[in-house]
Amino acid sequence: MKSYPVIFALFIALLGIVVTILLQSAPGSVSGNPHPSFPSLSQGGDASRHDGITVLGWLFGALQIILFVVCIWVSLCGVKAHRWMVIVCGVAYLFVFTMLMITYRQGVAEAPFVLGFPLPTTLLLFGMWPMAAVFAILYVVKFRSWVYSPQDQEAFENLKAEMSSKGGDHDA
């Protein structure tokens, strides 16, 4: 199956979520409330201010993660044996994001403190960022064997040579 329709469908779904959110009325205190002691400072409210869009926000983030994983999956065109690593990392990334959204929705005021931060902040700092780093590390370490193999490079060099001999693009 070609992956392009899946990527297109994910973009359409993301666009649909954005349009749905834009068509809703803005929630109260969306840009913060004045701080009681420092009026020039704005402060946010509790998580209930996002009641109408929390699920849409989760869906938007989840679809972005799925799109990210699908795009990496597409780049592994010749290596089917190692695709399970991308799937496992994607599921873990989606799980951490889901936990972040659930704990944020429960409210920061009631959240336990872990490593000096409220639980949602801890999940963001020590869950979301490292999961993205895992993808980056996998991509860098496995680039030559998963994405652009020596055989791919040789085929590309042969194509360039063939194009040059036919008087093709000289910018290559």
C-alpha distances in Å from residue 71, one per residue of 76, 108, 150: 9, 34, 22
Query: What is the pLDDT, as a whole number, of residue 170?
Result: 57
**Taking CA 27 as the corner, what is the angle to CA 22 and CA 31, rounded to the nearest 5 degrees?**
95
Average pLDDT, the chain: 85
Of residues 79 and 73, the one with the higher pLDDT is 73
Render pLDDT for 111-129 as a digit per residue (tens, 0 to 9): 889 888 889 889 999 999 9
Backbone angles phi, psi at 34, to 5 degrees: -60, 140
Q: Is the pLDDT of residue 171 over 70?
A: no
Q: Is the pLDDT of residue 169 over 70?
A: no
* Global confidence as pTM: 0.79
Of residues 108 and 24, the one with the higher pLDDT is 24
The rounded distance, in Å, linking the Cα atoms of 94 and 63 is 9
**What are the extents of the domains in the chain?**
4-23+44-141, 144-172
Instruction: Provide the sign of the torsion angle of the four alpha carbons 89, 90, 93, 94, taken in this order.
Output: negative
Contacts of 44 (CB under 8 A, 6+ apart): 29, 32, 33
